[in-house]
Amino acid sequence: MSEQPSSAHWQLQSIVSGLRGAREQWRTRNGRSIGEQGGRELPSREAMRQILEQLCGALFPMRLGPVDLREESEDFYVGHTLDAALTALLAQARLELRYAARQSKAGLAGVDAQALSLIQGFAAALPELRVLLDTDVLAAYHGDPAARSVDEVLLCYPGILAIIHHRLAHHLYQAGLPLLARISSELAHSA
């Protein structure tokens, strides 16, 4: 049986120190103070991936939601999932708006309230977006003579998932969140 290497085998202390030095040099060259923000400064790509997955599940719960979802608990699932997704999206919107305010040397006053307002508007648009997405799915079904159902199109076609991501990204962009929109649309390529 081979022995597993310990962290000492990787000389991690030296590597971590070198990476810290590289980060500090980058921050200095780009006018960033070390410890300036004290936390995450930019929205998270991984958080947006999870949010988009939750939104897809909430928009199409019996097809893109959990495998054990029952029709009688569909509304509960949608409400619970939307609450989690929108709360996480609000946190990402705050990060984007704070970042944009710092970049433009504007104050941070009102940023949190603005983020809340933008995400409330985004949430209110979801029913209308679902209706629009239904037409996208139907068009894909009609455009493929080999497709046997709209369900098959929604479940199997990566292009439909990309369209969902792009439509969500478009709403984020229109809301004034271009960075979140960009992350969302780029994630569509790997959806």
Q: What is the pTM assigned to this prediction?
A: 0.85
Domain boundaries, the chain: 43-190
- What's the fold here for domain 43-190? serine acetyltransferase, domain 1 (1.10.3130)
What confidence score (pLDDT) does residue 26 get? 86
Grade residue 53 by pLDDT with cuts at 50, 70 and 90: very high
Distance CA(1)–CA(153), nearest Å, equals 49
What confidence score (pLDDT) does residue 152 get? 92
Q: Average pLDDT, whole number, for the chain? A: 90
Distance CA(60)–CA(176), nearest Å, equals 26
**Alpha-carbon Rg of the chain, whole angstroms?**
21
| pLDDT tens by residue, 180-189 | 999 999 998 8
The secondary structure element, H or E, covering residue 166 is helix 158-174
Phi first, then psi: give them for residue 125, nearest 5 degrees: -85, -10
Distance of CA 10 to the CA centre of its chain: 34
Distance CA(6)–CA(149), nearest Å, equals 53
